[in-house]
Amino acid sequence: MKIVSHYLQSIDGIAIYPIITLIIFLSMFIAITIWAMKISKKNIQDMKQIPFDDGLIKDENPNY
Amino acid sequence: MEIEKFYYDNRIVKYFAYATIFWGIIGMLVGLLAALQLVWPALSFDLAYTTFGRIRPVHTNAVIFAFVGNGIFMGIYYSLQRLTKARMFSDMLSYIHFWGWQLIIVAAATTLVLGFTTSKEYAELEWPLDIAIAIIWVVFGWNMMGTIIKRRTGHIYVAIWFYIATFVTVAILHIVNSFAIPVTFWKSYSLYAGVQDALVQWWYGHNAVAFFLTTPYLGLMYYFLPKAANRPIYSYKLSIIHFWALIFLYIWAGPHHLLYSSLPDWTQALGVIFSIMLIAPSWGGMLNGLLTLRGAWDRVREDPILKFLVVAVTAYGLSTFEGPMMSLKSVNAITHFTDWTIAHVHIGALGWNGFMTFGIIYWLIPRIFDTKLYSKKLANTHFWLGTLGILFYAIPLYWGAVTQALMWKEFTADGFLKYPNFLETVTQIIPMYHARILGGTLYITGALLFVYNIFRTVKSGNFVKEEAAEAPAREKIGLKRQQGEGFHRWLERRPIQFMLLALLAILIGGVIEVVPTYLIKSNIPTISSVKPYTPLELEGRDIYIREGCYTCHSQMVRPFRSETERYGEYSKAGEFVYDHPFQWGSKRTGPDLSREGVVTGKMYKPASWHYNHMKDPRLVSPQSIMPAYPWLLTNDLDLSSIDKKIRVMQKLGVPYPEGFVDIAKDDLLKQADLIVENLRNGGVETQNNKEIVALIAYLHRLGADISKK
């Protein structure tokens, strides 16, 4: 077994890899930012409140 | 809608909390021992099991995987149940996870002390334990994903995204970095060699920091900070952007750990750009945490829990700013191999992870024990001791690091190194090591108060093993996107798709970094004089690995005049092609050793010098802080697996001639006889089957190949 690398040894233009990631990353970043901005205020408020609603039954867990 | 009643499992939370506290104290004490050994080498006790080279990995592994690891699980098991309004998917999986993890920790500590190590930092455990970790990790992930799938809530809260990303990424990192071929049950050789091995290792090392010490704790922050402050997170939109940017970018920034070493320029430059970009999403998280407390600062002054959380988040901000700075070439040229790195990681470990953990436990234990914290005052004292501890730890080390780095680089007017004796630069900063011990002691004292406080709290309460809750069953809205439902909203409803997308995000970054590392072999110019190690040298190398010499010695001469003057020719990528695993090291407590075997070089020492030096370094280097290794002089070399070792090396592509296995042992003894003879001429009597002989053979091989071009 001579490690996978041998198959890949002679690939030219390796610099294309980082350039591709940069492009993918930037477009993803922009897309997610736009989506995030479009979420309605009400939804955002609901989501923020999630940690405060854990459905505990007050009588059975007196301290809360 | 039908209301369902169910119970949160607090017992598993309690278990993990106790384990966190227990291993936290152990990990810190072992760290303190290591710090003491760096001032008083006698505290290595001349015993193999307790030398610095083995103690230091026990410390790092204990803190990362036992303290922080259990802390992660504690926080996740508590918050996940409540955020999903569901009990954990399977109690059985919960407890397999718990006991499995503790068993691994015990086995890890034991094997590391016994010298079973791969020598890859934060991945030192040998292959059987690697497999066990993978299995238990999957148990954890299965339990978590199961819980998320059977949740009673619609939306999946941001904390959980961080948990999911942690699970998938750590799994991948662990598996990719652990590829090795076993020689025996406790010995294996890395599948990768030299530059490639280093790249994979630091891709792992960097991301272990990101995805074990950072993302899960950010998740915990997004839950426990709002809970403790009793106010929602500042910006939920920011958390979405922050999350995706962070997981994507982090995976990228691996190569900056190896700046200036023998990497192609373009990998170096890219790593730097990305690690600078990393500041943005990291600070997004920090600001989100701190701004959550806006308008509540009066409460922060009163409440020790909030104080812990605030300092934790600030420490996170500091180290994520400092990290990218350290990846700048000019900064790195100073900080690399020095105590700067140690100070940097302790801002993270003591500040971010430690304080976050303390804050969470102070908040959580009274709740699951249905009581109040025993003493707020004691918790405040703990806070101040801890904060002082961090300052006393880090500031002297930063100072010492710069001092030493400048001494390494200083030339006299005539163009000679001002401090040609490496040891001089060590003794100069010993006072800083004393201060570090003080800092660590303060921090641990605080932690002991914490243990007492928690103990009294537990005693005063009644444990709520099962916490009753109720919630409507989740609406079945189907898999398709609803009208008006944004993509991200839809995605959050679908945990498996979410996991896959997170996986994709890290894979893009990961593949793009790892593929070149596979390609890298072709980028490495071969050096024809570089030959495989002889069997004796290979055995010596394995002793070097076993004793953890890499924790203090680098094997990487950077292309600076100050280094080539001191050590010799700078390192070339082609020198390491047979190094399974690589031994570049990350810290120079002692000098670089990669030119130790260049007979005409500055570093060369005769065999008898090495013999005496290993017996007790202070015989030949008074004031040395290197531990003594007397057992190497008396231990017989274990030759039982040399055949197997050669065969594994051949499988890995190391060009030993065919049939070499059959003559390996003879070859070994022949070379050993020469060294024994050589030692005798230097006035030292020994036999050809002692470990020291193999180690000397290895040390004399370092750099020898390229010097005889």
Residue B214 has pLDDT above 90, yes or no: yes
The per-residue pLDDT for B259 is: 45
Which region among B372-376, B409-413, B436-440, B512-516 has the lowest average model confidence (pLDDT)? B512-516
Does the pLDDT at position B1 exceed 80? no
Confirm if B242 and B211 have CB atoms less than 8 A apart.
Answer: no
Closest alpha carbon to B131 in B185, B90, B89, B52: B185
B489 contacts on A by Cβ (under 8 Å):
39, 43
* Cα distance from N-terminal residue to C-terminal residue, chain A: 62
Residue B514 in contact with partner chain A when CB distance is under 8 A: no
The pLDDT score that the predictor gives to residue A5 is 32
If you count them, how many residues does chain B have?
Answer: 709
Contact A3 B191 (CB under 8 A): yes
| Chain B residues whose beta carbon lies within 8 Å of the beta carbon of residue A21 | 252, 508-509, 512
| Interface with chain B: mutation pick from A1, A6, A25, highest number of B CBs within 10 Å | A25
Bridge pairing between strands B180-184 and B187-190:
antiparallel
Element (H, E) at B190: strand B187-190
Identify the pLDDT of residue B252.
63
CATH architecture assigned to B535-701: Orthogonal Bundle (1.10)
Question: Is residue B305 pLDDT above 50, yes or no?
Answer: yes
Alpha carbon A30 to chain centroid distance?
13
Query: Which residue in chain A is spatially nearest to B461 when comparing CA positions?
Result: A63
Query: Does pLDDT of A2 surpass 50?
Result: no
pLDDT of residue A39: 82
Q: Is the pLDDT confidence value at B540 over 80?
A: yes
Give residue ranges of A with CB < 8 Å to any B CB: 1-6, 8-11, 14-15, 17-18, 20-21, 24-25, 28-29, 32-33, 35-39, 43-44, 46-52, 54-57, 60-64
What average pLDDT does range B676-701 have in this prediction? 96
pLDDT in tens, B85-105: 999 999 999 999 999 999 999
Q: Which residue of A has its CA nearest to B232?
A: A48
Mean pLDDT of chain B: 91
Q: Does the pLDDT of residue B574 top 90, yes or no?
A: no
**Averaged over B130-141, what is the pLDDT?**
97
CA atoms within 13 A on the CB side of B401: 23
pLDDT reported for residue B50 = 96
Q: Which residue of B has its CA nearest to A34?
A: B241
Nearest alpha carbon to residue B589 among B39, B118, B220: B39
- CA atoms within 13 Å, Cβ hemisphere of B454: 23
Per residue in B241-288, pLDDT tens?
Answer: 888 888 877 766 655 555 444 455 666 666 667 667 778 888 889 999
User: Do the beta carbons of residue B74 and residue B17 sit within 8 Å?
Assistant: yes
Kind plus residue range of the DSSP H or E element containing B468 = strand B466-472
b/e for B396-416, b at 16 or more Cβ within 10 A?
A: bbbbbbbbbbebbbeeeeeee
If phi > 0 it is left, if psi is from -120 to 50 it is alpha, else beta; for residue B585 that is left
Q: Cβ contacts of residue B338 below 8 Å, gap of 6+?
A: B400, B401, B402, B404, B405, B587, B588
H or E element, residue B187: strand B187-190
For B318-350, the pLDDT digits (tens) are 998 898 788 777 888 899 999 999 999 999 999
Return the minimum-mean-pLDDT range out of B11-25, B28-42, B475-489, B540-554.
B475-489
- Contact between B230 and B487 under an 8 Å Cβ cutoff? The reply is no
B276 touching chain A per CB within 8 A: no
For B492-535, the pLDDT digits (tens) are: 667 777 778 778 877 776 776 666 666 666 567 778 889 999 99
Residues of A in contact with B281 (CB under 8 A): none
pLDDT digits (tens, 9 = 90+) for B595-642: 999 999 999 999 999 999 999 999 999 999 999 999 999 999 999 999
Radius of gyration of chain A (CA): 25
Helical (H) or strand (E) element with B402: helix B376-409
Q: Are the Cβ atoms of B518 and A8 closer than 8 angstroms?
A: yes
Whether B16 shows a pLDDT value over 90: the answer reads yes
**B211-228: average pLDDT:** 95
Task: Write the CB contacts of B263 (distance below 8 Å, at least 6 apart in sequence).
Answer: B195, B199, B255, B573
Q: Where in chain B is the domain with CATH 1.20.210.10?
A: 3-369+378-465+505-513
Distance CA A3, CA B108 (A): 29
Question: For the purposes of burial, counting CB atoms within 10 Å of the CB of B81, is it exposed (0-12), middle (13-18) or buried (19 or more)?
Answer: buried
Biggest alpha carbon distance in chain B? 91
- Which pLDDT score is estimated for A8? 35
Contact A24 B508 (CB under 8 A): yes
Whole-angstrom distance, CA of residue B97 vs CA of residue B103:
10
CB A44 within 8 A of CB B489: no
Integer-rounded Cα Rg, in Å, for chain B is 26
Contacts of B370 in chain A (CB under 8 A): 61-63
For residue A11, the model assigns a pLDDT of 46
Q: Where in chain B is the domain with CATH 1.10.760.10?
A: 535-701
Helix, strand, coil content of chain B in percent (nearest 5): 70, 5, 30
Residues 6 or more apart in contact with residue B521 via CB below 8 angstroms: A3, A5, A6, A9, B196
User: How far does CA B588 lie from the centroid of its chain?
Assistant: 17
- Helix (H, G, I), strand (E, B), or coil: what is residue B474? coil
Q: What pLDDT digit, counting tens, does each position of B103-112 carry? A: 999 999 999 9
> What is the β-pairing status of strands B3-9 and B466-472?
antiparallel
Query: What percentage of chain B has pLDDT greater than the value 70?
Result: 92
Provide the 8-state DSSP code for B528: T
**Residues of B in Cβ contact (< 8 Å) with A33:** 241
Q: How far apart are CA B364 and CA B370, in angstroms?
A: 10
Does the pLDDT at position A3 exceed 50?
no
- Please state, in angstroms and rounded to a whole number, the distance separating the CA atoms of residues B190 and B54: 19
Secondary structure (3-state) at B548: coil
Select the CATH number that applies to the domain covering B3-369+378-465+505-513 from these four: 1.10.3720.10, 2.102.10.10, 3.20.20.30, 1.20.210.10: 1.20.210.10
User: Does pLDDT of A1 surpass 60?
Assistant: no
User: Which string of b and e fits B686-705 if b means at least 16 CB within 10 Å?
Assistant: bebbbbbbbbbbbbbbbbbb
Model confidence at B482, in pLDDT bands (50, 70, 90)?
Answer: low
How many CB contacts within 8 angstroms connect chain A with chain B? 132
Q: What is the pLDDT of residue B459?
A: 96
